[in-house]
Amino acid sequence: MMHIDHAEQARNAGEQVHHFHGGLHLRHNKKISCETPLERTPLPGLLIVPLLQHYGPEAEATVKTGQKVLKGDEIGCFAHLGGGYVHAPSSGIVQAVARRPISHSSGADGWCVVIEPDGLDQWKRLEPLTDWSDADPALLRQKIRNSGIVGLGGAVFPTAFKTDEAIRQGIHTLILNGSECEPYISCDEMLMREEPDSVILGARILQQAIGATRTVIAIEDQMGVVNRALKQAVESAGDDNIKIVKITTIYPEGGEKQLIQVLTGLEVPTGGRPTDLGLLCQNVATATAVAQAVVEGKPLIERIVTVTGNGIRKPRNLVARIGTPISDLVEQCGGYTNDVARLVLGGPMMGYALNSDANPVIKAANCILALTQSDIRPSQVEMPCIRCGECARVCPAVLLPQQLDWLIRNQQWDDAADSGLADCIECGCCDVVCPSHIPLVEWFRFGKSELRSLAVERKQAETAKHRYEARDARLLRIKEERRQRMEEKKRAIKDGAQKQQKLAEAIARARARQDRNE
């Protein structure tokens, strides 16, 4: 149970700014993509909508080839964690339900619904809740669930699961994460600049949906324009329970656990969640999606994407429909420079390379980063670890990366798990400072995948063991039942023989009496 002092600290989130362990001061490279106002991308000729748009298993298509769909229609559903819904970004005809590249970190293909827009962009019948302030919180959470909203900061964890958990746990404070700590990414900053009222509206709706009494919106201390815009929006809303907090710009302060530590001075327990502290953390873009879902009745079918990097001629932020080919966004930003060398989905620290710009925009696509050859760190020969401790110094999760690396390479899986491998947020700080050029994050990702595989194998082995034990018990039970039936049969036969003998003896006695009487 949380100590009373910790409970008070959690309730005072944002009243004092703290610091987390480690981290790096990085060049932000954001200004150039924030100089142009937001602009929507034109309707593409073809929309390729992956069915894996969320954390967890892939959704299943609910439409067929040749079917006509309206904008906002459900085209995929898997209620995993209460949020695996996918919707049509525009009206048109389903051309195919097929496997295509899906802009996933694994590089694998996935099932997609391919829609040819009809140009009408016709919405389905929308059902907004204009009187949301009087609505039942359960109804608000249901709207969030049906709208396919996920965490738009990159983790794409179903928002409905988090809100339901918040109700079960009892949440007092909602935290909106507006601290974009990774270089180049500025989609949230542009959202807060240009649509602050939507952010505040989303915060108020979420607050009511989960029963929180206050909201803290965290932004970086260098976001002066954002600070003014949000404060004005709060004043216009007349809500005294929303507080804007400026925090120190250091990577990766935008990580959920790191942000909570900055705002409260408390660490989320290993294996625990922010709800254990009475807190719920959401991205500002997620809050805006909630506002659109509730007040306008619109599901999540678009997002703001930062298109930037030295390989892009005119970096900027665009509002793009899910399923739009990335090449369309690049073209709208003036195309590539002549020396472009790599295309990355996400930022330079936690993003992953794409094989093609024909890949579609997904809900997790906060940034399309085009790097030139000079941006890419030259490949270095990996050297043995010199135990300098730099990786541990910068690790925001307070781990010993060098020790984890050794355990993983030597397949000491239980020890790696006990040493906190699951707590690694894969921020890349250790990679940046390692003088031996060891690809630590790659090893940690490999280690995590092995732990997941081992967990599956152990579960299967445990299931097999239970099945064997159940079979063995069943066979023993059957054997015992047969033995009991045999014993009962023997007893019945013995009893029958005894009865026959007694009957014969009675008959003999009767005959003897009859003979004497005669």
**What is the CATH number for 495?**
1.10.1060
Listed residues 285, 308, 331: the one ending a domain: 308
Residues 403 and 492 in one domain: yes
| Sign of the torsion formed by the C-alpha atoms of 112, 114, 119 and 124 | negative
Residues 291 and 435 in one domain: no
Q: What is the pLDDT of residue 1?
A: 41
Q: Is 108 a domain residue?
A: no
- What are the residues facing 215 on neighbouring strands? 174, 242
Spell out the residues 6+ positions from residue 135 whose beta carbon is closer than 8 angstroms to its own. Answer: 129, 208, 294
Spatial contact of 83 and 158, defined as CB atoms under 8 Å apart: yes
Q: What would the DSSP string read from start to end of 87-111?
A: E-SSSEEEEEEEEEE---TT--EEE
Residues 479 and 388 in one domain: yes
Mean pLDDT by 10 residues, the chain (518 residues): 67 90 93 95 97 86 97 87 82 97 86 97 94 94 93 88 92 95 96 98 97 96 95 95 94 93 91 90 97 97 98 98 98 96 94 94 96 86 94 96 96 94 94 95 94 89 90 90 87 80 79 75
Q: Measuring CA to CA, which residue among 120, 272, 269, 282 is closest to residue 216?
A: 282
Q: Measuring CA to CA, which residue among 356, 407, 429, 437 is closest to residue 25?
A: 429
**How many angstroms separate the Cα of 374 from the Cα of each of 161, 341, 349, 378?**
42, 9, 16, 9
Alpha helix (H) ranges present in 170-283?
Answer: 187-194, 196-210, 224-237, 256-264
Q: What would the DSSP string read from start to end of 317-386?
A: EEEEETT-BHHHHHHHTT-B-TTEEEEEES-TTT-EE-S-TTSBP-TT--EEEEEETTTSPPP-------
Residues 132 and 14 in one domain: yes
Residues 301 and 432 in one domain: no
Which tokens sit at 501? 């003998």
Q: Is 501 a domain residue?
A: yes
Residues 252 and 392 in one domain: no
The total of structural domains in the chain comes to 2
Spatial contact of 93 and 116, defined as CB atoms under 8 Å apart: yes
Q: Measuring CA to CA, which residue among 111, 289, 86 is closest to residue 187?
A: 289
Burial of 135: CB neighbours in 10 Å, binned 0-12, 13-18, 19+: middle
Q: Is 130 a domain residue?
A: yes
Q: Is 352 a domain residue?
A: no
Q: Measuring CA to CA, which residue among 376, 383, 492 is closest to residue 438?
A: 383
Spatial contact of 148 and 83, defined as CB atoms under 8 Å apart: yes
Q: Is 297 a domain residue?
A: yes
Q: Is 63 a domain residue?
A: no
Residues 230 and 140 in one domain: yes
Q: What is the CATH number of the domain that holds 158?
A: 3.40.50.11540
Residues 401 and 498 in one domain: yes
Listed residues 281, 308, 335: the one ending a domain: 308
Q: What is the pLDDT of residue 3?
A: 47
- Strands 302-308 vs 367-372: parallel, antiparallel or unpaired: parallel
Which tokens sit at 442? 């790659």
Q: Which domain holds residue 184?
A: 4-45+125-308
Listed residues 275, 308, 341: the one ending a domain: 308
Q: What would the DSSP string read from start to end of 282-307?
A: EEHHHHHHHHIIIII---S-EEEEEE
Q: Measuring CA to CA, which residue among 185, 508, 168 is closest to residue 364?
A: 185
Peptide bond into 252 cis (omega under 30): yes
As a whole number of angstroms, the distance between CA 288 and CA 282 comes to 10
Q: Is 72 a domain residue?
A: no
Q: Is 443 a domain residue?
A: yes
Residues 255 and 404 in one domain: no
Residues 39 and 172 in one domain: yes
